[in-house]
């Protein structure tokens, strides 16, 4: 007989990172400052890895709303939504969120991950799920919890999706799963192409809008509005931990679907409800998103400045213009060395290793927010140039010659 804990060993890759002194995870933040900076180990660091795109997590109005709700309603609700944990705040947030997203109804849950897990009852045993290969882990878990057959199509490849739909066995429902803006690479889904295929084959479209709601579209309601195809999205999930600057999530859909999920989604039924402070903060953030479009313009302008600067340094960066910009490194150990040297330069970025990315495609994920100034972006570019030069990656120092390309990178 073996011990059930024998499996609890770290992968060799993680042990190698620790042994090399370049382990980039679980470092504590001591204080969050205004203007995109944090304090770590007693020093100020430029945050270049946050999903707080609109810089609302530190907005005085959002914090005041949360603090007031905390005083009036307490630190938690000590109950599930279905029993005694539903607040008037939840209902208000659901109504305003559904209106903002263009759906009949919404259901607020405690996290964005939970919002995607709550979709599992929609995936019946006779149904076929067709999912982009880059969808978030929470959608994969929802697919596993459901009983439908799961097929994956190549990332943003609607031709491949079309072939899978054409060759699907008859009978049962068909559901297409995608993200509005993909979390690691920042590119947008081909929603027009997906919508056309869904119309042709009678499929439903489910979009995880964690990273695009608040950021894209004339009103900020996400990738569907950006593409002018809001009516093509049947179900939309959102999280409050990105553009809303707090915690929580929601599913928005036709009223019949939401009512069904309220009474069948275990992820919602058997979990404590979203605390009042988070609900109030999210509601205030939604009001700001609807009335201050300049925040979206500011973060997208900073993203353009970062992308242009990285291209000038010799990096092959995507042209999508979103605030998430990947630097392809390739080798995992080299990626973590890059991250470590960036951190020593006073920059906190994200090192993305498998399984978050495919094998051999390790990358540094940079993000800008509405709190970043031009000076912040320039400081980030200077740090990237310095580190890339030391590691022999494809970059140029400002005004200097091009550095040689490293054979260890697929950038």
Statement to judge: residues 299 and 277 lie in one domain? no
Distances from the Cα of 83 to the Cα of 77, 78, 263, 272, 326, angstroms: 11, 10, 11, 10, 44
Question: Which of 249, 169, 163 has its CA nearest to residue 213?
Answer: 249
**Cβ pair 330, 408 in contact under 8 A:** yes
Chain-centroid distance, C-alpha 105? 23
> How high is the pLDDT of residue 87?
98
pTM of the model: 0.92
What is the DSSP pairing of strand 235-239 with strand 43-47? unpaired
> How high is the pLDDT of residue 395?
52
Q: How does pLDDT run across 305-345, given as a tens digit for each residue? A: 999 999 999 999 988 889 999 999 999 999 999 999 999 99
What is the DSSP pairing of strand 105-109 with strand 249-253? antiparallel
Statement to judge: residues 180 and 200 lie in one domain? yes
Statement to judge: residues 155 and 245 lie in one domain? yes
Statement to judge: residues 239 and 97 lie in one domain? yes
- Identify whether 5 is part of a domain: no
Q: Which CATH number fits the domain that encloses residue 188?
A: 3.40.640.10
Statement to judge: residues 222 and 235 lie in one domain? yes
Say how far apart CA 257 and CA 275 lie, in whole Å.
24
- Identify whether 1 is part of a domain: no
Statement to judge: residues 262 and 182 lie in one domain? yes
Statement to judge: residues 112 and 244 lie in one domain? yes
Question: Which of 256, 216, 219 has its CA nearest to residue 235?
Answer: 256
The domain boundary, picked from 229, 258, 291, lies at 291
Say how far apart CA 195 and CA 216 lie, in whole Å.
18
Statement to judge: residues 117 and 177 lie in one domain? yes
- Identify whether 317 is part of a domain: yes
Report helix, strand or coil for 37: strand
- Positions of the chain with pLDDT under 70: 395-411
Give the Cβ contact number of residue 96 at 10 Å.
16
Question: Which of 280, 302, 290, 291 has its CA nearest to residue 366?
Answer: 302
Q: What angle do CA 354, 360, 345 make, to 5 degrees?
A: 75
Looking at the structure of the chain, the number of domains it has is 2
- Identify whether 372 is part of a domain: yes
Statement to judge: residues 104 and 239 lie in one domain? yes
> How high is the pLDDT of residue 26?
97
Statement to judge: residues 30 and 66 lie in one domain? no
CB-neighbour burial class of residue 410 (10 A; exposed 0-12, middle 13-18, buried 19+): middle
- Identify whether 180 is part of a domain: yes
Residue 342 domain boundaries: 12-47+293-391
The domain boundary, picked from 233, 267, 291, lies at 291
- Identify whether 32 is part of a domain: yes
Statement to judge: residues 284 and 361 lie in one domain? no
Statement to judge: residues 118 and 233 lie in one domain? yes
- Positions marked active-site: 183, 211, 242
Q: Which CATH number fits the domain that encloses residue 383?
A: 3.90.1150.10
- Identify whether 333 is part of a domain: yes
- Identify whether 184 is part of a domain: yes
């Amino acid at each position: 007989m073996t011990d059930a804990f024998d499996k609890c060993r770290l992968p060799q890759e993680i042990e190698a990172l620790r042994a090399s002194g370049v382990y980039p995870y679980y470092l504590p933040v001591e204080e969050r400052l205004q203007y995109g900076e944090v304090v770590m180990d007693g020093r100020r660091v430029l945050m270049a890895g946050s999903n707080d795109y609109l810089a609302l997590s530190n907005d005085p109005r959002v914090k005041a709303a949360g603090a007031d709700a905390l005083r009036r309603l307490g630190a938690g609700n000590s109950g599930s939504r279905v029993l005694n944990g539903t607040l008037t705040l939840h209902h208000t947030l659901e109504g305003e969120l559904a209106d903002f997203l263009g759906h009949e109804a919404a259901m607020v849950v405690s996290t964005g991950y939970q919002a995607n897990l709550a979709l599992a009852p929609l995936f019946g045993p006779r149904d076929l799920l067709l999912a982009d290969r880059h969808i978030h882990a929470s959608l994969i878990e929802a697919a596993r919890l459901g009983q439908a057959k799961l097929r994956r199509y190549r990332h943003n490849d609607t031709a491949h999706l079309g072939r899978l739909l054409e060759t699907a066995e008859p009978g049962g429902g068909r559901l297409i799963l995608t993200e509005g803006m993909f979390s690691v690479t920042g590119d947008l889904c081909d929603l027009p192409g997906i919508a056309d295929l869904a119309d042709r084959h009678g499929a439903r479209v489910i979009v995880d809008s964690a990273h695009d709601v608040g950021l894209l579209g004339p009103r900020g309601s996400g990738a569907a509005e950006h593409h002018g195809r809001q009516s093509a999205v049947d179900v939309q999930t959102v999280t409050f931990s990105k553009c809303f600057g707090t915690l929580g999530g929601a599913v928005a859909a036709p009223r019949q679907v939401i009512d069904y999920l309220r009474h069948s989604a275990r992820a919602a039924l058997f979990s404590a409800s979203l605390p009042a402070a988070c609900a109030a903060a999210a509601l205030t953030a939604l009001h700001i998103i609807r009335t201050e479009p300049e925040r979206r313009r500011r973060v997208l302008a900073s993203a353009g400045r970062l992308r242009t600067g990285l291209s000038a340094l010799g990096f092959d960066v995507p042209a999508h213009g979103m605030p998430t910009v990947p630097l392809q490194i390739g080798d995992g150990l080299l990626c973590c060395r890059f991250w470590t040297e960036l951190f020593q330069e006073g920059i906190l970025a994200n090192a993305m290793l498998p399984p978050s990315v495919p094998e051999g495609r390790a990358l540094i994920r940079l993000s800008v927010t509405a709190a970043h100034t031009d000076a912040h972006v320039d400081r980030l570019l200077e740090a990237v140039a310095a580190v890339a030069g030391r590691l022999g990656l494809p970059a140029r120092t400002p005004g200097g010659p091009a550095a040689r390309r490293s054979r260890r990178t697929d950038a």
